[in-house]
Amino acid sequence: MGPLSGVRILAISQYGAGPFATLHLADMGAEVIKIEDPNSGGDVSRSVIPYSENEDSLFFQSLNRNKKSITLDLKSTEGKAVFLKLVEKSDAVFNNLRGDVPERLGITYQQLKHVNPKIVTCSLSGFGTSGSMKKEPAYDYLLQAMNGHMSLTGEPGGPPTKYGISIVDFSTGMMAALGLMIGLYKAKVDGKGEDIDVSLFDTSLSVLNYLAIWHLNKGYEPLRTTSSAHPTLVPSQLFETKTGYIMIMCNKEKFFRILCEEIDAEHLARDTRYQDFQSRFDHKETLITELERVFLTETTKTWLSRLQGKVPIAPVNSIQEALNQSIVHERNMIVKVDSDNFGEIEMLGTPIKCESFTPDYKPGPKMGEHNEEIFEQLLGLTKNDVERMTDPSKHRDSLYKA
């Protein structure tokens, strides 16, 4: 039994950020029921290339393991009636629709509390469920551009650059999962649910954090830095070696002294120009030039053997190298799941470790795989009811966020 066993979440969500939010809750034992639109082919991520077949994809599998799937048209009168029956028996309704759609679809707390006063409704959208931009579509890269992330990423003089992964989607998914759990805790305490509103915009803005407070209070204007350097701490950046790159992070005064000793450059630690954070920042050009010369004299492997455990250091790994690190297996971060379409799939496990529980990973569901279990066994509907309700007799434009 997982720590969230007994928690039932209805998930009207697809693609990345939304499914990522409920992925970790499902791993922890929550019953996450994906509601897929039978008129639109269900979750669009089922067809995401390059590895897609038979209404399934490795992309879909990466975000939807341990979940259930039902097909239900929420825009039909019959579909909405069945949905309300599900709300009666659930703890939360989660969605990642555009900000104006939950109210139009009738899935806000005010619209559902008469059915279940304890229901928690969590909305993950681009710009929130209020404000002048709630009707605007949003995607990860757009928010990276809009909220300053791209202006900070890349080399000085080069073009603004996005992250290598969909970091805004994933960080917003984490915040939505946290928000949903806060709502569930409150509902357990006082018996009342509520709307939880999480957006890509708010989350991507919030992670500016210390840069924002520096700017708001002191007018600080962050700029892109050479060699992925920290904006103020020196030396904390990439250095090229004979065989690649290493990242050094001297984020405590003691680390600079130790670094100088270990690379046979004690004279730098004694130099009055480099005595503390401020002086090293003021003279960073001369210091970095000296250090660059030193690090080019040996291989990445040599520097790692000399510095690991003494100074914060890491190699710049490829994805292959990252996944082959011994600690990946020590931490049980690669798990195996048997699937119908792709056979045994290796994927990354949950980063949440509970002493009393180890997740049992199951593949992402086929579309509508759990119709019988949910509609007939949970709600008591007949087979004829289910067949009529899940047969997409005509195409309808989906309200789901792509």
pLDDT tens-digit readout, 83-96: 999 999 999 999 99
Cα–Cα distance measured from residue 277 to residue 256, given in angstroms and rounded to the nearest whole number: 10
226-240+245-315, what's its fold?
formyl-coa transferase, domain 3 (3.30.1540)
CB 59 within 8 A of CB 45: yes
39-95: pLDDT as tens digits: 888 999 999 999 999 999 999 999 999 999 999 999 999 999 999 999 999 999 999
Cα–Cα distance measured from residue 252 to residue 41, given in angstroms and rounded to the nearest whole number: 54
Q: pLDDT value at position 393?
A: 56
Our CA dihedral for 357, 175, 8, 17, rounded to 10 degrees, sits at -100
What is the location of CATH 3.40.50.10540 in the chain? 8-207+356-390
What is the location of CATH 3.30.1540.10 in the chain? 226-240+245-315
What rounded mean pLDDT belongs to the chain? 94
Residues of the chain above pLDDT 70, percent = 97
Parts of the chain with a pLDDT under 70: 391-402
Q: pLDDT value at position 391?
A: 64
176-224: pLDDT as tens digits: 999 999 999 999 999 999 999 999 999 999 999 999 999 999 999 999 9
Catalytically annotated residues: 230
How far the first Cα of the chain sits from its last, in Å, is 34
Report whether CATH 3.40.50.10540 matches the domain 8-207+356-390.
Answer: yes
Residue 58 corresponds to which tokens in the numbers above?
């490795």
Q: pLDDT value at position 392?
A: 56
Cα–Cα distance measured from residue 270 to residue 216, given in angstroms and rounded to the nearest whole number: 37
